[in-house]
Every structure is written in C-alpha cells, then in structure tokens.
Amino acid sequence: MRPTAALLPALLVAATLTACGGGSGSDPDTVKVSFKQSTDNSIKVMDTYLADIKKQFEKAHPGKKVELVPIKAPDSEYYTKLQQMLRSPKTAPDLVYEDTFLINSDITSGYLKPLDPYLAKWPDWNRFIDTAKAAAKGEDGKTYGVPDGTDTRGLWFSKDIFAKAGLPADWQPKTWNDVLTAARTIKRKVPGVIPLNVYTGKPVGEAATMQTFEMLLYGTNDGSTDPLYDKGSKKWVAGGQGFKDALSFVETVYREKLGPDVSDALDPNVMTRVRGEWLPQGRLGIALDGSWLPQDWLPGSGHEWPEWSRELGLAAMPTQNGQAPGKVSMSGGWTWSIPAKAGNPDLAFEFIKTMQTKANAQKWYIANSGIAVREDVAEDPAYVEAQPGLKFFTDLVATTHYRPAYPAYPKVSTAIQEAMESVTTGDASVDEATSAYTDALKDATDNQVVER
C-alpha cells in the first residue's frame, strides 16, 4: 500500500477523534483503551475479553469508567492509525495495544511512557519471564509495555489430504526439502487443493516477514549468530547466501504452483481465508502459520471447528538441512503501553493490573490461543491442558527466535516483503531481489550494514 493511501484512514480517524471532543485527557475519570479489532466481524475474542475486564475494573473502581476504542483495520493500517493518534494529546488514548516489533520505533519517536515507576511497585511483574520483559524494553533500558502473551510458529497439516497423498499421519519433516517434497506429492496426488501456504508480499505485512521469511532465514544457520542483525557491530546484515536461500524457497513455492494463486497470496485477506476457509474446508495441505489459529475455531468465534484437533496435525518447521537444533520458530507478541501524551496514565496502569491478574491472564491466553508469559500460569495444569496443541507450541519456545525489534526494523521488514513479492510474482530473480534488498536496507538504516 502506498504511504499516502495508508495515511488517509489514519488522518480520518484522528479527525474523527478530535471532532468527538478530544483525547484521553478530556475526562479524568475515564480511561480510554485502544486496541486492534479483527477485520473479520465473526472474531470477537479481544472484544469479549476487554468487555469483561471493563466490568471488573468499573466494579473495583467506583466512579471510574472505561471507554473501549477499537481500531478495525489490517495490521499495516492499524500501526499507521495508532501512530497518528499517539502524536497529539487530543487524540492519544490512555492505553494502547502495541506489537513488539513496532514498540521501539514508537519509543524512539517519543510516543510511549516508561513504565518502570509503576512496575517497581507491582509484585506481579516478577512473575513475567525475562524474554517477554525484554520485548518491551527500549534501547535506553527502560520498559515501555506489559506483555500479554507470546506466540510460536510451525507447520499445520491436513491429515485427510495427507492420507489421500500417501503421506504419514505423524509427518515430521527434517529439512526444507522434506516440506517441498510433501507439497509436490500433494499437488500430484490430490488435485484441486492448495499444497502449501506461505505468506508473502507487502499486502500481508509482518505476516510475510515473520511467519515465512524469518522462519526460513533463521533456519539457514546453526543459531549461533543472528542472520538479520549483527549485535557485535550493531549493524544490519546485508543479503547473503542465507537470505538468497530463504527467497529461493518462496520462489519455488510460487514458481512450481505449490502455493495459492499469486492473486490470492497477495490478497490482504489471505490470512482470514487460511483460517476461515482453506483449512476448515480441507482445501489446504500444509500451512506455515502461528500458534493462535485455534482462537478462530472455538465456540462463538464464527468459524467454529470443534474437529480441528482431530483433522489437523502439527510439525515443527525444520532447519534448512536438518542442522542443529533441527527445528526453528519465531516468537513475537503484543504489549499494553501507555502513551506519553495520555491524560490518565495512573488509571491506565490500574487497568493493566486488572487485566494481568493471574486469573485474567490465564483466561486471555486460553481464549487467544496464546502462550503464557507469566510463570505461574505456564506451570498451571489447567492452562497446559486447556487446548490441544498448546503444549506443542509452548515447547517450541526452547528453540525460538525473536526479531531484532530496533527502530529501523519496520523499514527492514518492508524491504523484506518487497523482495519476497518480487520473486513471488516473477518480476525479479532471487539475485536481483537480494541486491535490491541490500540497497533498501542501506537506505532504511543510514548505511548501518555489514556484509557477512
């Protein structure tokens, strides 16, 4: 999407909020909570959860009110709208839902308030795992958000399609070639279905970068070094052999027609189609996707699919050639942050504390098909046994990776999406796309790039 197109809805939102009588500071007894609302009208997981927290909060704080301010938009537009709102005290809410990949960009822009004074007085903060805490830290060492869960990624596969293709029900690929071989077998033996879905291109934004490209890139080495960012020199890594190999995998999927039609792959709604149509309807063999998918299939979701745990298998994404540790995953997550220009920051943190009691956190992790970042929840048998697949995805945390979420990362991510899209459509070769990426990387990082 062109920047001007993305910005227009943001300006309209800002104008609307301003016209409605100002931002969070207009009423000292009301806390305004802004969050990402699903573009799929049948998915109400966050809405339902926050409505319950609102009731609890208002009961515990007589005279105080909660105003929920949903932003209904695809990921890329949500980030644009949110940043526009954060720029002015007239439009800034008191509490915002921040993706960890964007948080450092917002910290650097001065949009968020450090939470350390609040956290120091909140005993529950000691219950959060260190990796989750690190995801909300700025380069200044201060913490700017309270995480509400994490996630991992792996391979979902249709047992029915695998049976028709003569593939094993307990499929556990050891290399990338094993994945491609299974997809080729499905294409040959089960016509009419999509063998393999990997997200690609700019329309799906970070889903392409993280759920596909980084799942591949971080599997090209032994995990001893970060293939995207060199921490020693504090520079971004230029496109090298691992980058080319990851792009080649994407190119192969679409060149050999192992994936969806390119027009469908580059549809911004493709993620909804994977979860709501292709997997439940038995039209997709293998999906490289996230731990959260079951939230769409739970009762009341609009895409109820109680049979999913019997009809789908799970496998870890292997490293490129099976090298140690043998499998790869990426983890992200979201945090609750207080804008620097919030009118009621103290009230906002009280709302965070209500959301993050052990009971409420556990309720959210289960409803959201998320992975616990509180140790006391992760150790609770009621959580571990709450949903099929939860243990599988939780176990992947041991070999997971986190994005180098520094301020330049959003631009780096866009450059990756552009490289992916160009090989998906066939507009560029892998070498050409890699060269273009390195040029874009230099522009995005003020030439803070290292060859490896």
Instruction: Decide which of 398 and 63 is more confident.
Output: 63
**CA 198 – CA 377 distance, rounded (Å):** 32
Enter the DSSP assignment of 260. Answer: S
CB-based contacts of 274, cutoff 8 Å, min separation 6: 197, 284, 287, 289
* In contact, 230 and 236? CB cutoff 8 Å: yes
The amino acid sitting at 109 is S
pLDDT tens-place string over residues 11-61:
333 333 333 334 555 689 999 999 998 877 777 889 999 999 999 999 999
**From edge to edge, which strands make up the β-sheet containing 317-318?**
317-318, 327-331, 400-402
pLDDT surpassing 50 at residue 2: no
pLDDT for the residue numbered 368: 83
> Average pLDDT of 57-69?
97
pLDDT of residue 296: 87
Task: Please report which helix (H) or strand (E) contains residue 318, including its range.
Answer: strand 317-318
pLDDT at 25: 52
Q: Between residues 161 and 1, which one has the greater pLDDT?
A: 161
Q: Do 7-151+332-397 and 153-331+408-450 agree at the fold level?
A: yes
Average the pLDDT over 163-176 and give the result. Answer: 98
Q: Using alpha carbons only, give the angle 117, 121, 125 rounded to the nearest 5 degrees.
A: 95
Helices (H), 87-199: 100-108, 116-119, 130-135, 159-165, 176-189
Q: Stretch 203-216: mean pLDDT, rounded?
A: 96
Give the pLDDT confidence score for residue 74 in this predicted structure.
77
Which residue is it, tokens 């695809």?
74
**Measured distance CA(411)–CA(414) in Å, rounded:** 5
Integer angstrom CA distances of residue 73 from 232, 236, 427, 433: 38, 30, 29, 29
Q: How many Cα atoms within 13 Å fall on the side-chain side of residue 197?
A: 29
Q: What value does the mean pLDDT take over residues 151-155?
A: 96
Higher pLDDT, 23 or 77: 77
Identify the sign of the CA torsion 25, 27, 30, 33: negative
How much of the chain exceeds pLDDT 90, in percent? Answer: 73
Euclidean distance between CA atoms 435 and 410, whole angstroms: 19
Give domain 153-331+408-450's CATH superfamily: Periplasmic binding protein-like II (3.40.190.10)
User: Does 9 have pLDDT greater than 70?
Assistant: no
Distance CA 96, CA 145 (A): 9
Determine phi and psi for 229, rounding to 5 degrees: -140, 130
* Least-confidence region, from 234-238, 291-295, 412-416: 291-295
The CA–CA distances, whole Å, from 155 to 9, 329, 393, 418 equal 35, 10, 10, 24
CATH of range 7-151+332-397; options 3.40.190.10, 3.30.1130.10, 3.30.1540.10, 3.20.10.10: 3.40.190.10
Burial of 143-180, coded b for 16+ CB within 10 Å and e otherwise, reads bbbbbbbbbbbbbbbbbebbeebebeeebebebbeebb
pTM of the model: 0.81
The 10s digit of each residue's pLDDT in 398-450 is: 788 989 888 899 899 999 999 999 999 999 999 999 999 999 999 999 999 99
Residue-wise pLDDT for 242-252, tens only, equals 999 999 999 99
What average pLDDT does this structure show over 170-185? Answer: 98
| Helices 358-367 and 345-355: angle between axes, nearest 10 degrees | 70
| Residue 295 reports pLDDT greater than 90 | no
Domain ranges across the chain:
7-151+332-397, 153-331+408-450
173's tokens? 């690929």
Backbone angles phi, psi at 94, to 5 degrees: -90, -25
Cβ within 8 Å of residue 414, ≥6 positions away: 202, 440, 444
Question: How many angstroms separate the CA atoms of 48 and 401, rounded?
Answer: 31
Q: Which residue has the higher pLDDT, 218 or 135?
A: 218
Distance CA 329, CA 149 (A): 16
